Structure 1
Amino acid sequence: MIAKSFSRRAGLLVGASAVAMTALALGLPAAAQTAASSAPAADAKKIDTVGEVVVTGQRAALRSAQTIKMKSTQIVDSITATDIGALPDRSVTEAIQRIPGVTITRTSDPRDADRISVEGSGVQIHGLSYVRSEFNGRDSFSAVKGRSLSFDDVPSELMAGVDVYKNPSAELIEGGIAGTVNLRTRLPFDQPGHLIGYAVDMSYGDLADSWKPTGSILLSDRWDTPIGQIGLLFDFADSNFESRTDTFSVDPFYVHNAANGNEIVAGKTVYVPGGFGYRSLIFDRERQGLDFAAQWRPKDNILVTAQHIRSAAYSSENEHAVGIDPSGSTSPAAGTSFTFNSAGIFQSGTFAGSAGGSTVSPDVLDERYNTTHSVTSDSSINIKWDVTDKLSLSADIQYVRATTKQIDFTLFDSLHGSLGAPTLDLTGSLPRASIPASNLLSDPANYYWDAAMDFHDRNEAEEWAERIDGSYNFDGDWLKSFRFGVRHTGKTATTRETPFNWGYVTQTWSGAGLALLNGQGPTAAGNSLPSAPMPLSNFFRGQIPLPDVFYAGTIDIMKNFAHASSLIEAAENRSASCCGPWSPFNGNYNSYTSSGGLSGVNYQREQTTAAYGLVNFGHDIDFGGRTFPLDGNVGLRVVNTEARGQGLGAFQSCQPDPNTPTTCSTFYTAAQQAFLSGGKSAVNGGRDYTNVLPSLNLRFVIAPKLYLRFAAAKSIVRPDFSQMLPSVNVSGSPGWLNGTTTCNKTSTVANAAANCLYDFTSYTGNPDLKPIRANTYDISLEWYFANTGSLSAVAFHKDIYNYITTATSDINITNNGVTEPVLATHPYNAGHGTVDGFEVAYQQYFDFLPGPLKGLGLQANYTYVDSEGAKNASADPFDPGQVAAANPGVKLPLEGLSKNSYNINGLYDYGPFSARLAYNWRERYLLTTDAANINIPAWTDDYGQLDGSVFYTFSQKLKVGVEFANLTNATTKILVSYPTTTNNPGFTGHNWVLADRRFTFVLRGQF
């Protein structure tokens, strides 16, 4: 709400200007009106359109994309959908991973190394995740952090195409150091008359064993009326998808030697996993997309376009997991021994919970249910006016609103008894494990309710954006046109998020009895929590046979959080001397700020004002008796940003020494006791800054269809809203924690190094962060030797400054009228790094072959990326474990950066037949510096996936086909370094993940 007033005033001003401009245009003499071109010359994302082509389907899409790339004055790659609702892959992220230099991750949350997203999620361009997202050249975002759009929330069936800009020019909206991904939808005037397009399909996942439908319909028409030409378009898509992933996990490895008192092999240091586990997850998703567009051309030189786009995604995850986790006490079972490789790494053996034992206890059994609902709505109106044959103007107003709501709920239970010693074998391509059969497993009387955990977020973000653009054409030998414009935005974002809130239900160590799964036990409502055997059949398609008779909570109890919460609280025992029983989220997001360091609610507002000028030029250059055309543009964009945020200042109450009955006065002065007031209050902060962003794009025509390009630009990406939160969370750290009362209470890093704890510590956000900025350079050589044939090579270099990472330093904080030095952990701008690399791309249909063989084609690309001096940021700047992992003291690459990646696509188009086999591969990359639960870096190993499709076109009205995904049944492997620090460069397998093979049967056509 805090940005609505200024954004609406600005919107009214620009809106009034647009109306006035239209009224003035409608009053012009007819001669001036008809002489002007109707082309949208002032469109900030203008791409030369492709003329009418006779080819259709896959070949037509590739030809259209090649024409866009060839005619653009920038370095851009595109994907187009010539068929209605028909990008070449089932999701936007899967489609754009085929573009050179683009890679995707396959986890919905980078820190969650245990749960793989089948369709892919995060996007990197040239190894960087600082990617800007747009709809039709306008800003678009989801409400997760209010900065970028979750591409996996957008139905691919709405897309007319996707453009990836790898080096910015002045007219492009700032904010993408890596690049900009622009999602294009259709408009009524894109086609000459009426059009009805449809697509219907049914998809099947062989692990999920479930059929899911997807359908889309597009209706478009245009009419000549007394008030001018009018066009209307309606496009709706409903995409349903269900998948299953099976995961086998091996815990991080522990050091076993005499020094640690856990020697297994006499005189040697060996590394043994803490245990293993397995889980199966069903992911169910529905995406709904709506696009309504109206265009009105009252006169030849005026075009009015109004559009509303709504994208909604509803998803759920239902997970069942078993963990066998003796942790660091893992030892060989009685009468057995472990085997190791030459480096002392465990290879196989039978585990026991204690040396010489014969049993273990399951550490965790859980049923988890996660549901997420995200919506992004985008409304806009644009007016283009060709004032004369030289001058064109455009005005644009846009309103975007995004919301998201998530509940993640896990209910744990444990076996009240022991299992026989399990065996683990890591010598093959897949791990092998066995658990001895036991009658304990099939009786709910042998299980008890152990713990519960919940997570909630509820976020919204909105933005008003107004812009006016213009273009003036010259008749000069060098100068071709001058483009200019101004843009204003007002954005607000509110993020509400809890920590993962774990607490026990009943525990064996509580001494208060257990709530058993059969409804028995001393707790009053133990029989109210329903349970059932976990559905873990056909795990890993039988390649890793494991018991599927463990018991856990039912899916019905997990889906109703409020009802389950009341039952769990009634079942809890609350007499334990340690820890605290689980208490469900009470609706107050700020209630967690006094524990765990989290901020609770983050209010952000941001206002930007930008202006740009861009000169397009072109001329023939004589060299060596030959003429070489040269064209391009040079421009300057200046943008001012005003950022303000509001968080919460939380101060711990002054606590006495827990070891001796003494008061705070033993360690703190009266002023310091006042500083630790135990209170909470609002904290505000922010900064203003201006960035000057020049850009240059050159295209040199060496020979017909042979281009040499050069691009250079400055660009920025603003900090995430989570990093800019002006929060303060102060705790006391008196000297008695160090066993002494003589600690010098001057808070300095030197004292800390001398083993003297600080009086006060804090986790804070940093509203004074600067944007990350970069100087980017690209040079490419492109040869277009056929309508659908090209060979190109691009080299790129990025100098990146102001990386945002997290560190600890001294700051002064004032509370209750008292200012104290505090050791604070907070995000900050750090250092300089570089990203370098190159990409090579080739595509061709072999038309020179005889007969049906001329339908064969090949599309291939390869990308190499490397970085130096890069910094990773903590995903949560208020989590000390994540902060420490982001700064591990050893060199780590950027998260998400693969040095090598490639695509090889075999194509076939001949007559009514069309087919594709597409293989995508990327090298091992750092997934996260701090994987959830294990709190160490995790890597995704080399991964390749083969997809394909076959279509037959009966007529324009009907095309049928089958699409395939993951034909080779690829396994995703997550690695961690051993032992549980990053100082040892070796890797061990942590997760092996198997996903569905997917088959989709498609009907598609248009009238």
Structure 2
Amino acid sequence: MRDSGSNYSSNKSDTSFNHTLLAVCIAAATLGANAQETQTAGPLEEVTVEGVRGSLKNARDIKRDAATVADAISASDINALPDKSVLEALQRVPGISIERFAAVEDPDHFSIEGSGAALRGMAQSRSEFNGRDSFSANNGSGLNFQDVPPELMGSVIVYKNQTADMIEGGIAGTINLQTRKPFDSDGQQIAFSGALNYTDMRGESSPDFSALYSNRWQTDVGGLGFLISAADSELRVSNNSVGQGAPQLLDIPDVGERWVPINAGARMVNQDRHRTGGSLVLQWANPADTTLATLEYVRSDASTTWYENAFQSDDTVGNPSADSVYTDDRFVSGTLQGADRYNSFARRSVTGTLVEDLSLNLALHPTDRLQMAFDAQFVQAQTQVLDLSIFGNTRADVEVDFSGDLPEVNFIAPAGVPQSSAAYFTDPANYFYRAAMDHIEDSEGEAKALQLDMEYDIDRGWFQSLKGGLRASERKQTTRWSTYNWGVLSETWAGGQKFFNGVHDSTPWDGQPGTGTYPAPAHDVFHFNDFFRGNTPGIAGGTILTPGAHLLADHHTFRSELGRIFGFNSLKDRNDLVDGIFTQPEYNPVREERQSAYVMATVTSLDDALTGNVGLRYVTLDYTTSGGVSYSSINASLPLPADDLAFFNGDSYLTSSAASHSQWLPSLNVKYTINDEWLMRFGASRAIAFPDMGMLRDSMGVYAIVTEVDTDGDGIDDAARVSDYRAGTGNPFLKPMTAHNYDVSLEWYFNDVGALSASLFYKDISDFFVSGAFPRAVTNNGVTKTVEVDGPVNLGDGTVRGFELAYQQFFEQLPGAWSGLGLQTNYTYVDAKSVPNPNISTNDGNEVAVAFENLPLQGMSEHTYNLVGLYEYADVSARLAWNWRSEYLLTTRDVITKLPIYNGDSGQLDGSVFYNVNDHVKLGLEATNILDQVTETQMQVNDDGTRFNRSWFINDRRIAAVIRINF
């Protein structure tokens, strides 16, 4: 990644400063993100809680003392969140489910540790560091949790409703990452952790380590605190998948109409993740304990590289053999013959993200009743992506059997070929270089925020305090996101085919056969054998040839070699570049200016049984966006109609837009303490969620899908045509989504760790963000075409409702070692009604067709639960955690099939066991994906809800040997 300068994300211990460490920790965790409360100074004393019990107790106390409905994860041991990433830890929280795919629009690529979190079925949650906004510089509006080192976290708090002093932006809720402070403990703290991770499919090991030093001193000028922490983690994993292509409805002789997949394919991906991070914190409290200053710097730097080999076809159709087997509605097994274009491709994608966050918080307690806090924050973020693909091509038939739990796929030589399948697929004379594609992103953003909070303790009757504040922020983000630049390397209709063996079949369409040679790049040999650990034949005899990985080493090699050998034009070779390698529509600066003010009253009954807060927040939002419109350029030598060549002439021009929005956001939260163990809550608020930055692009890129055509019926493609006119665009005038949120909960805290809670929630939501494809008449260079435009809009109203149950306890009443047994479990039910989530496309290029109207809310599982067995006795602690979610809609419109894709029911079992060698050293083993889970996806083919399997994924089991040292 190139140096973008300082990047900062802030840490705000905005709390009402109390006189014990426990109060400080709880208030900072609970109120810092949720309430952004004023810090004041006071004497501190250490409260020590350790081990699994300590973590559960801290999380329970955060929930109990929160000003609104909340749940939490706590790490009582330094550098000891219960999972290997923040995102994996979040899946244990009631109401949260995590995404396992790299992107929702791309359900063909599994992810290492997940890629996003849904809270109560919705992705529109707000992410923050220590109560302040933070973000990653991509097309989103929040933080990539999977890129944050979990070793830096002291706790993660999930707020599910709002108070007036919370920063706006989360309809589903707010997820606050709390880092550690030197005043969290009394005196010196030294901690180190190290781990060696082994992944069984990849068969490789990789290290983790983290270290922390913290100390505090009492001096003549007051209390001083210093903390520094660092973390570095590597992970190398693999995943394999088998899939079938989009189905077609065929009339089978003597059988009738049946759905038949057009083809089948296989994919293998190696992923490498490297994540580093650190924090530096300085704290000072004056001798009178009336002032507390906190200066903090947090850095998170992550990179992910994945290398992929696949053998599949996205568009060529195989015909079922006569001996194929069918059910009442679909093809089950047989041979798909005559699919003459199978891509044998290699792909390398590298993503780097950097977030840096600098904050200063000054908390004052000038009088016994008045508290003030001033907070300043500066964040810088950067994202870079390089994605390179090369497609080889060959003919193939495929034998498939989808009747069992796992698929069986066997690629065979096409009919009439004299070679055996093994010889055919390893002969470079049977593969030619078809196409290549590059994609680049280079985005950065920065944000500045100032906030002033004041709170006055009234303490008269029911009124405890009155609080108010002002906040102003400015966020500038420049997204540079190129098109996926597909270009032909060799084809019958573009100068002939260039084969892996160096032969150039240059036969013209209307002339005599001609052959020659060319300097063919080296190719690779790739094996698809033993695809599912021997549980299925997988790709029987599946050794194929792929383009050489050396061509994907970097963009310079990719561009120069493919340009020299094939005349390929990379992104850098395009016309009208305005910012490095980007065209005007790909260069999108967005400026967001936000101002907010709030007032909130805290009330308490005379007997302290009834407490709560009522408040009003006002926010104004101004967007300024820039962009452009561009038209791709088509090689004029291709035999295309003159109007297509004129329309796609590579022209571009500038555009800009501005939009303003304002909202009043009232909130009410009431907590009634029935007795020492039981309490009830009620929360009501109006909340908003902002569109992702990528949705606001003021740009449109118009491009062509060119396909080959057999015009004379001889079975040989002899012409080309534009089969689709497409464009991608943003919408700078999107309004924020709005919701009225209601929560009711009953909570029972029956001992130091034990808790049982039940919550009901209801959200009435307006102005959903919906993406679809719409026809638009577009004119360029005197030619008008109907273009299918993909873009976001605000659409409709809907409701999300459900309930949550959570329980945790150690069974200390059992005798002896049995008293170490414990249980933690939770269950969430979510139901969405009238949510506008259609799959929208064009019909015959002239009108909108809503292909699937009654789709569920994307990313929402109706049922989610966690079941965690715990054990902690003497020097041994262990955990066995099962996480399960029911099926859910991955995407309304897959980029390949254009169909809705669902993730099936799925669960994962993880575990750990630790042994305390002494008071300072702990050894352990951690295991992830113990049961070797197979993940299945399905595609919906009609509005009646008919679905067929799309893909089957299997990924590594991970084992880590861990050492933790604390002083």
Specify if TM > 0.5: yes
**Residue 64 of structure 1: how far off its partner (Å):** 0.5
Structure 2: how far apart are the matches of 1:960 and 1:92? 21
One of 104, 110, 113 as aligned partner of 1:110? 104
TM-score calculated relative to the size of structure 1: 0.83
1:394 alignment partner, one of 373, 378, 390: 373
Q: Which position in structure 1 is the counterpart of 2:915?
A: 952
Q: Partner of 2:952 in structure 1?
A: 992
8 A Cα contact 2:616 2:666, kept in partner: yes
* Aligned equivalent of 1:497, options 477, 481, 489: 481
Give the residue type in structure 1 aligned to 2:239: T
Distance apart, 1:763 and its partner CA: 6.5
1:813 is displaced (CA, Å) by 11
1:114, 1:529 → 2: CA distance?
A: 28
Structure 1 gap ranges (5+): 12-17, 19-32, 258-263, 354-359, 575-581, 622-627, 665-672, 733-759
- The within-5 A match list for 1:117-196 is 117-145=111-139, 147-196=141-190
Q: Displacement, 1:345?
A: 1.1
Matched, 1:682 2:647: no
**How do 1:588-667 residues align onto structure 2 when only pairs under 5 Å count?**
599-620=585-606, 629-650=609-630
* Aligned counterpart, 1:544: 536
Residues 1:425 and 2:413 are matched in the alignment: no
Tell me if the contact between 2:529 and 2:543 (Cα under 8 Å) persists in the aligned partners: no
Which amino acid letter does the alignment assign opposite residue 377 of structure 1?
Answer: E
Would you say the 8 A contact 2:165–2:617 is kept in 1? yes
Choose which of 340, 344, 352 in structure 1 pairs with 2:326.
Answer: 340
Residue 361 of structure 2 corresponds to residue 382 of structure 1: yes
CA distance in 2, matches of 1:676, 1:326: 23
Deviation at 1:524, TM superposition (A): 9.4
Q: Hey, what does 2:389 align to over in structure 1? A: 410
Structure 1's 1002 and 882: CA in aligned 2 closer, same or farther, altered over 3 A? farther
8 Å CA contact retained: 2:76, 2:154: yes
* Match in the other structure for 2:963: 1003
Contact 1:498/1:592, CA 8 A, preserved across alignment: no
Q: Distance in 1 between matches of 2:775 and 2:895?
A: 28
Counterpart of 1:284, as a letter, is D
Match of 2:458 in 1: 474
Cα distance change of structure 1 residues 590 and 774 upon mapping to structure 2, 3 Å threshold: farther
Aligned counterpart, 1:781: 746
Distance in 1 of aligned mates of 2:152 and 2:110 = 25
Q: 2:807 aligns with which of 839, 842, 846?
A: 842
Q: 2:83 aligns with which of 77, 80, 89?
A: 89
Mapped to 2, the partners of 1:899 and 1:647 lie a distance apart of 39
Give the deviation of 1:461 after TM superposition: 0.9
For structure 2, list consecutive stretches of 5 or more residues without a partner in the other structure: 413-420, 507-514, 705-724
Q: Name the CA shift for 1:170/1:806 in 2 (closer, same or farther; >3 Å).
A: same
| 2:426–2:543 CA contact under 8 A, matched in 1 | yes
Aligned residue type for 1:321: A
What is the match of residue 871 of structure 2?
Answer: 908
Q: CA deviation at 1:620?
A: 4.4
When residues 124 and 281 of structure 1 are mapped into structure 2, their CA distance, relative to the original with a 3 A threshold, is same
Amino acid at match of 2:903: T
Offset of residue 983 of structure 1: 2.5
Structure-2 separation of matches of 1:551 and 1:661: 36
For residue 166 of structure 1, report the CA deviation from its aligned partner. 0.4
**Would the alpha carbon gap of residues 385 and 588 (structure 1) be closer, same or farther in structure 2, given more than 3 Å must change?**
farther
Q: Quickly say closer, same or farther: Cα 1:943–1:659, change in 2 above 3 A.
A: closer
The corresponding residue for 1:331 is 320
| More deviation, 819-828/372-381 | 819-828
Counterpart code for 2:616: L
Deviation by residue 1:132-190 (Cα, 9 ceiling, x = unmatched): 00001111000112510000111111111100000011111000000110001101111
Amino acid at match of 2:229: D
- Distance in 2 (alpha carbons) for counterparts of 1:176 and 1:701: 28
For 2:703 and 2:247, the matched residues in 1 are separated by 34
On the 8 A contact 2:584/2:652 being kept in 1, the answer is: no
- The residue identity in structure 2 corresponding to 1:956 is D
Amino acid at match of 1:474: I
- Residue 118 of structure 1 deviates from its aligned partner by 3.1
In the aligned structure 1, how far is the partner of 2:437 from the partner of 2:906? Answer: 32
Letter of the 1:423 partner, please give it. E
Match of 2:525 among 517, 533, 545: 533
Give the aligned residue type for 2:746: L
* 1:334-357 C-alpha deviation (Å, 9 max, x unpaired): xx511111x22111112321xxxx
**In 2, Cα distance between equivalents of 1:206 and 1:585:** 38
Measure the CA separation in 2 of the matches of 1:513 and 1:803: 48
Structure 1 residues 69 and 520 mapped into 2: Cα distance closer, same or farther (>3 Å)? same
Find the counterpart in structure 1 of residue 685 from structure 2: 713
CA deviation digits over 1:429-484, x for unaligned, max 9?
10112335421222334322221111111111110011011111122121111121
SS of 1:115 mapped into structure 2? strand
Q: Tell me if the contact between 1:597 and 1:763 (Cα under 8 Å) persists in the aligned partners.
A: no
Cα distance in 1, alignment partners of residues 58 and 844 from structure 2: 49
User: Can you list the C-alpha shifts for 1:581-628, whole angstroms capped at 9, x where unaligned?
Assistant: x421117797599xx99931111001111111111111147xxxxxx8
Residue 691 of structure 1: aligned partner: 663
Structure 1 residues 267 and 918: alpha-carbon distance in aligned structure 2, compared to 1, 3 A threshold: closer
User: Which of the residues 700, 704, 709 maps onto 2:676?
Assistant: 704
Matched position secondary structure for 1:599: helix
Give the SS at the match of 1:128. coil
Is residue 294 of structure 2 the alignment partner of residue 294 of structure 1?
Answer: no
Name the CA shift for 1:879/1:397 in 2 (closer, same or farther; >3 Å): farther
Q: Do structure 1's residue 559 and structure 2's residue 553 form an aligned pair? A: yes
The answer to whether the Cα contact below 8 Å between 2:273 and 2:302 also exists between their aligned partners in 1 is yes
Moved more, 442-451 or 722-731: 722-731
1:443 has 2:427 as partner: yes
TM-score (norm 2): 0.86
Which residue of the other structure, out of 920, 925, 932, is the alignment partner of 2:888?
925
Separation in structure 1 between the aligned mates of residue 777 and residue 370 of structure 2, nearest angstrom: 56
Structure 1 residues 504 and 839, CA, compared in 2 at 3 Å: closer, same or farther? same
Q: Assess if the C-alpha contact under 8 Å between 1:807 and 1:883 holds in 2.
A: no
Aligned residue runs from structure 1 range 212-361, under 5 A: 212-257=206-251, 264-266=252-254, 268-299=256-287, 300-323=289-312, 327-332=316-321, 336-341=322-327, 343-353=328-338, 361=340
State the secondary structure of the residue aligned to 1:848. Answer: coil
RMSD of aligned C-alpha atoms?
Answer: 3.9
- d(CA) in 1 for partners of 2:946 and 2:444? 43
Instruction: Describe the SS at the equivalent of 2:695.
Output: coil
User: Taking structure 1 as reference, are residues 885 and 834 closer, same or farther at Cα in structure 2, changes over 3 Å only?
Assistant: farther
**Distance in structure 1 (CA, Å) of the matches to 2:847 and 2:193:** 50
Distance 1:389 1:663, change over 3 A: closer
Check conservation: 2:194, 2:964, Cα contact below 8 A: yes
Alignment of 1:821-840 (within 5 A): 827-840=792-805
The answer (yes or no) to whether the contact 2:38–2:455 under 8 Å persists in 1 is: no
Question: Which residue of 1 is the match for residue 709 of structure 2?
Answer: none
Q: What code does the residue aligned with 1:687 have?
A: A
Say whether the 8 Å CA contact 1:325–1:361 is kept in structure 2.
no
Is 1:146–1:493's contact at 8 Å kept on the other side of the alignment?
A: no
Shift in CA distance, 171/126, structure 1 to aligned 2, threshold 3 Å: same
Aligned residue number for residue 855 of structure 2: 892
Distance verdict in 2 for CA 1:803–1:887, change over 3 Å: farther
Change (3 A) 1:601 1:975: same
The DSSP-based 3-state class of the residue aligned with 2:92 is coil
- CA offset at residue 730 of structure 1? 8.2
Check the 8 A contact 2:838/2:855 in 1, yes or no: no
Q: Distance in 2 between matches of 1:497 and 1:783?
A: 50
Counterparts in 2 of 1:178 and 1:312: CA distance versus 1, 3 Å:
same
Distance 1:886 1:110 in 2: 22
